[in-house]
Amino acid sequence: MPPLELNPDEIAAVLGGGAVEVLGRLRYSSNGAFLVQARADGVEIPAVYKPRRGERPLWDFPDGTLSRREAAAYEVSAALGWGVVPVTVFREDAPFGEGALQRFVDHDPEEHYFTLLADHEDRFRQFAAFDVVVNNADRKGGHCLHDLPNDSVVGIDHGLTFHQAWKLRTVIWDFAGERVAPTLLDDVCRVSAEVPDGPLGGRLASLLSAPELAALSMRAADLGRERRFPEPDPGYHSVPWPLV
């Protein structure tokens, strides 16, 4: 599959406004997920569609919010300028009702965080900082994909994010205690200033609750002040299972 010669805004326009055809269900997904094709003005973009109605209830996250969190994670990634999350939109008129549509990533399923780390350490430092800011409670190794057509590393499956309580659970602890690069901190501090009352906060207002927005801003500010990647919390399950 060749790389799309479209910028993120153009991809988002197709995913958010184009006709959507369901091609099939994705196996092994813990929630309902479908491979779809979005079409608009002669452009076709494969995407993963996660409808709200396919979400399993969780004890610690509000029901029916995971697809909105997927879209919110993209908005934060885009605001940081890091491109960690493939273009993702939330739309209400998809085939099985409202949900998230994310650009499909053509990748080798044998590649994941543990196989990619040695050649992409700086990229995964961005992942680590991003996961702190969005409070990712489920960063498995298999959520880190080598986007083959674009030769980049991206992250997927961000439904368990933005909880008000600290819930960071990740396989990316290789940089724990390390100082965060100043260039990353500049981006994080800028995002903190844009939430909850700035432009990013406006884009997130329909996706997250006001307390979640306030917690997002606080986490970003805390990382900017502490200037180090966090250590795993003693007594907390800081690593997800399975690892991949």
Walk along the chain (244 residues) and give the pLDDT tens digit of each residue. Answer: 656 689 999 999 999 999 999 999 998 787 899 999 999 999 999 999 999 999 999 999 999 999 999 999 999 999 999 999 999 999 999 999 999 999 999 999 999 999 999 999 999 999 999 999 999 999 999 999 999 999 999 999 999 999 999 999 999 999 999 999 999 999 999 999 999 889 999 999 999 999 999 999 999 999 999 999 999 998 899 999 999 9
pLDDT of 131:
98
pLDDT of residue 28: 79
Best CA proximity match to 180, nearest among 230, 124, 228, 128? 228
CA distances from 172 to 10, 45, 55, 169, 244 (A): 32, 30, 26, 9, 12
Encoding tokens for residue 88? 């993702």
How much is the pLDDT for 4?
A: 65
Residue-wise burial string across 53-64, b where 16 or more C-beta atoms lie within 10 A, e elsewhere: ebbeeeeebeee
Q: Taking a C-beta distance cutoff of 8 angstroms, is the pair 127, 73 a contact?
A: no
Could you tell me which residues come within 8 angstroms of residue 222 by beta carbon, excluding any fewer than 6 positions away? none
pLDDT attached to residue 87: 98
Task: Specify the DSSP class assigned to residue 170.
Answer: B
> pTM higher than 0.75, yes or no?
yes
The pLDDT score that the predictor gives to residue 176 is 98
- From the list 86, 84, 88, the residue with the least C-alpha distance to 126 is 84
Contact 201, 172 (CB under 8 A): no
Q: Residue ranges of the domains in the chain?
A: 8-226
Residue 77 CA, distance from chain mean position: 7
How far does Cα 211 stand from its chain's mean position? 19
